[in-house]
Structure 1
Amino acid sequence: MNLTLLIFLLVYIAMGFGKVPGFKIDRTGAALVGALAMLAIGSISAQAAWNAIDYKTIGLLFGLMIVSGAFAVSGFYAWAANKVATLQVSPAKLLAVFIVVSGVLSSILTNDVVVVAMTPLLVSITLARGLNPIPFLLGFCFAANTGSVGTLIGSPQNMIAAQALDVSFIDLLKVAGIPALISLPIVWGIICYLFKGKWTIEKTVNTTPTTIVQPQLNKLETLKALIVTIVLVVIFIMDIWPQELVALTAAGILLINRTVASNDVLKEVDGNLLLLIMGLFIVNAAMSTTGLPQTLLADLKHMGLNLNDPLSLFFTSAALSNIVGNNPTVMLLVPYLETGLNANALCAALALGTGFSSNMVIFGSLAGIVVVEQAKASGIQISFMDYAKAGFPVAVVCIFLSAFWIYFI
């Protein structure tokens, strides 16, 4: 039991710090090494480890990555970013467009993929226009995180929670869609207030020269991806077939192509994220066999913290996600939640808690890390405090309003 607990703690320390202290092992590596270590010391059998992996969730996530990848390969993301960033409107209106586009695309095509695909071009175009990229990038990032909480396919953690709690696409949309929609004007209002009079780039900022290349849009491939996505969402809403089978079927259709190599689409799949999730399934299952998590939850319930109470779960997931990350938080909590009449509210609590709190700090989400790193590559420094000054109030206001929403549902 002691070794199992030690391995578990080391894995989640890596989730929090982004690596194992003293070693060059990132989150994915830590999850895989942790899973192998659990097998090696006998904390979990090979068959139990295989059974612990929720292949429905993995299949759903993989299929949706292929769907989103088809849009990336067709040039849609680059084309959309160029169209948005070159609009001849005031900075405040341009920010509003950034936020709406980010929120809508992220709710349908998964937030992390959208941010990874569109951020580099948004940096280049805002710099070329003499605009300060920071408020636009932060708005785009925050909207991707908050706008995605309203749908089952908006983020990996939503997919994990919905699969574990047996919540349908339309059920999650009903309980989380309105807060996700309300979050977008909140993001816009706070950033406009904080960056009033700071829309243009300072001359002292050392930025690398930017060359804007007009993106080429493959209209036929984009249309194909759009049709498949619309059909996929409609079938999700109808809830007549298993979600993972629908997503994998959509992926298969998009991979069958005469002009685009399947390998190019597969390159858009985040294999590291899939491996991380599979590793954590095994690590968490091994830890569960010790009985320690069950004992801890029983003690917490006795003290008044019941994770099967949506409001308690909401605040717990919001706090944990800024320590170990969104996906690990959901995976850590869902095995101990009760499905049933309260499943929709619990799923909403997880989606809103992890999604809205992830804007507090840079490492709270992959979207935040991507935005900061892409900006740095172009000579724009977004420090921890710069990010937190905008992200903290955005997260606090969204969390505060969502707490009331969850209380009433």
Structure 2
Amino acid sequence: MDFIQANKLLSISLFLAIISCLVGRFSAGDIDYKVILTLFGLMLLIQGFEQVGLLRFVAQKLLHHSQDSRRLVQLMVLLSLIGSMFLTNDVAILTLLPIYLKILNLLPKFKGRLLGSVLIIVAANLGSSFFPFGNPQNLYLYDYYHVAFSQFLLWMGLVLLVSIIALWLLTLLVAKDSLEEIEFKQATFARNESFLLAALMAIMILVVLNLFPYQWTVPLVALAVFFYRRSLFRRVDYGLLATFVCFFIIVGNIGEADFIRENLHALSSKQVYLTSIGMSQVISNVPAAFLIAPFTDYQQAVILGVNIGGLGTLLASLANLIGYNLFHSFYPDETKRFLGLFSLVNFGLLVILGGIFFFFIH
């Protein structure tokens, strides 16, 4: 029972996978091994970046340049946006939000606590959508549809541009108060290890772009990590990898149902876009991508839909839940106010971005 409680998404997906196999059939061919292995390699390296302290070092350097409370929030949001592009939204939130909340403990008069926290989470979700390797749904969709890299960046670059403008305008709502002098313990990072991880990450990016074969590249990267710091293998989220396997099995069996396949195939591009956003609100954007993509050729609609669909409810993105739990651990008495502001900002941005890009779908 404790395992189910701690791994709800895995438990639900495993249950549904078993049911789908009992009703349909099990086929190992339904599993996309490239996505699973590539995600595994990226997870290893992301955990390495977290351990060497590079992002914390950059965050502290930026904080030294914060003249006032608004500037502090703007710099943290910017770092969350950029950091999530390369280290995924989950890692950006897990790394930056605790730093921000710890700083606030030293600033009892700070007025932007709630809005700053919400915007860091939103920035991580939106920033991670830019690159094919920024989040799990992009990794899967980029590989599934074989989208041209330049085309992917064009689609998501427009989303990123609108996101940056919207986030900047929202940061202007933070009061511009002078900050008290804060004493920091000097942060450091392991330079040689960071260079090694950056080189391995560059190799993994080439795998994502289909320039290197994953069958031997990912094992070689994993072997390098094993000799460099084997403890990273214990920090990989194997539950998420298992959840992906379950999604592939579920989708494979759903694909055998003629009425589902026919109904999804009958949807127009704009309907696929709205369906992707809507399903993300209920089951989160990663499983929404897995469930919709195999039944439609409207790749732009799915990619934009599930990425913009990460806005909205707490369930729309797993990163939202991570951010909510972190805020609750620091300020349990302010959770209701946080959730109210989180919903207001997220649904507001969902309506704005969702509405704007509805007209870009073709």
- TM-score class, shorter-chain normalisation, is 0.7 to 0.9
Q: Is 1:256 matched with 2:236?
A: no
**Pick aligned residue for 2:73 from 92, 95, 102:** 95
Mapping of residues 156-167 of structure 1, within 5 Å: 156-167=136-147
Cα 1:328–1:235 change in 2 (3 A) is: closer
Shift of 1:241: 2.5
**Is 1:43 aligned to 2:21, yes or no?**
no
* 1:75 pairs with 2:53: yes
User: What is the CA–CA distance in structure 2 between the aligned matches of 1:359 and 1:199, rounded to whole Å?
Assistant: 31
Name the SS for the 1:256 alignment partner.
helix
Q: 1:52 to 1:223 in 2, by over 3 A?
A: same
List runs of 5+ in structure 2 lacking aligned partners: none
Report SS of the residue matched to 1:81: helix
What does residue 193 of structure 2 align with?
221
CA distance in 1, matches of 2:217, 2:74: 33
Q: Deviations over 1:299-341 (max 9, x none)?
A: xx2xxx32xx2x3322221111001111110000111123xxx
SS of 1:405 mapped into structure 2 = coil
Q: 2:274 matched to which residue of 1?
A: 315
Kept after mapping to 1: 8 A contact 2:130/2:160: yes
The alignment partner of 1:69 has SS state of helix
CA offsets per residue over residues 181-234 of structure 1, 9 Å max, x none? Answer: 3312212213433x457999xxxxxxxxx9975544222211221233345446
- Alignment match of 2:237 (pick from 245, 258, 270): 270
2:356 corresponds to 1:401: yes
Preserved CA contact (<8 Å) 1:318 1:354:
yes
TM-score in terms of structure 2 length: 0.86
CA contact (8 A) 2:277 2:309 kept: yes
| CA RMSD, 1 decimal | 3.0
Q: Which moved more, 1:267-276 or 1:144-153?
A: 267-276
- Does residue 387 in structure 1 map to residue 342 in structure 2? yes
The 3 A distance-change label for structure 1 pair 242 and 336 is: farther
Equivalent position of 1:205 in the other structure: none
1:152 aligns with 2:119: no
* Counterpart amino acid of residue 59 in structure 1: L
Offset of 1:148 from its aligned partner?
1.5
Alpha carbons of structure 1 residues 163 and 290: separation in structure 2 relative to 1, 3 Å: same
> Equivalent of 2:254, from 287, 305, 313?
287
Q: CA 1:276 to 1:246, structure 2 compared with 1: closer, same or farther past 3 Å? A: same
Distance 1:73 1:320 in 2: 35
The answer to whether the aligner puts 1:31 opposite 2:13 as a matched pair is: yes
Structure 1, unmatched stretches of 5+, are 1-18, 201-209, 339-345
Which of 340, 350, 358 matches 2:302?
A: 350
1:331 to 260, 280, 290: 290
Hey, what's the Cα distance between the residues in 1 that align with 2:160 and 2:145?
20
CA distance in 1, matches of 2:247, 2:316: 18
CA distance in 2, matches of 1:103, 1:248: 30
| Distance in 2, Cα, partners of 1:80 & 1:347 | 36
Change (3 A) 1:275 1:179: same
Q: Give 1:262's aligned amino acid.
A: R
Distance in 2 separating the partners of 1:246 and 1:187: 38
* Contact 1:111/1:367 (8 A) holds in 2: yes
What residue is the counterpart of 1:6 in the other structure? none
1:161 CA drift (Å):
0.8
Q: What secondary structure does 1:167 align onto?
A: coil
Rate the CA distance shift 1:163–1:270 in 2: closer, same or farther, 3 A: same
Give the corresponding residue for 1:16. Answer: none
Q: Residues 192-203 of structure 1 correspond to what in structure 2 (within 5 A)?
A: 192-193=172-173, 195-196=174-175
CA 1:101–1:139: 2 relative to 1, 3 Å: same
Distance 1:395 1:249, change over 3 A: farther
Deviation at 1:236, TM superposition (A): 5.3
Which residue of 42, 54, 59 maps to 1:64?
Answer: 42
Residue aligned with 1:149, SS: coil
Q: Pick one of 201, 208, 211 that aligns with 1:240.
A: 211
Deviation at 1:24, TM superposition (A): 8.0
Q: How many residues align?
A: 354
- Percentage identity across paired residues of the two chains: 20
One-letter amino acid of the counterpart of residue 282, structure 1: I
Matched, 1:134 2:114: yes
Q: 1:89 to 1:211 in 2, by over 3 A?
A: closer
Measured in 2, the distance between the counterparts of 1:107 and 1:348 equals: 19
Asked if 1 retains the 8 angstrom alpha-carbon contact of 2:283 and 2:315, the reply is no
Contact 1:187 1:394 in 2 (8 A): no
Q: CA deviation at 1:55?
A: 0.8
Shift of 1:141: 0.9
Q: 1:162 to 1:394 in 2, by over 3 A?
A: same
Matched letter for residue 353 of structure 1: G
| AA matched with 1:144 | A
Structure 1 residue 156: deviation in Å? 0.3
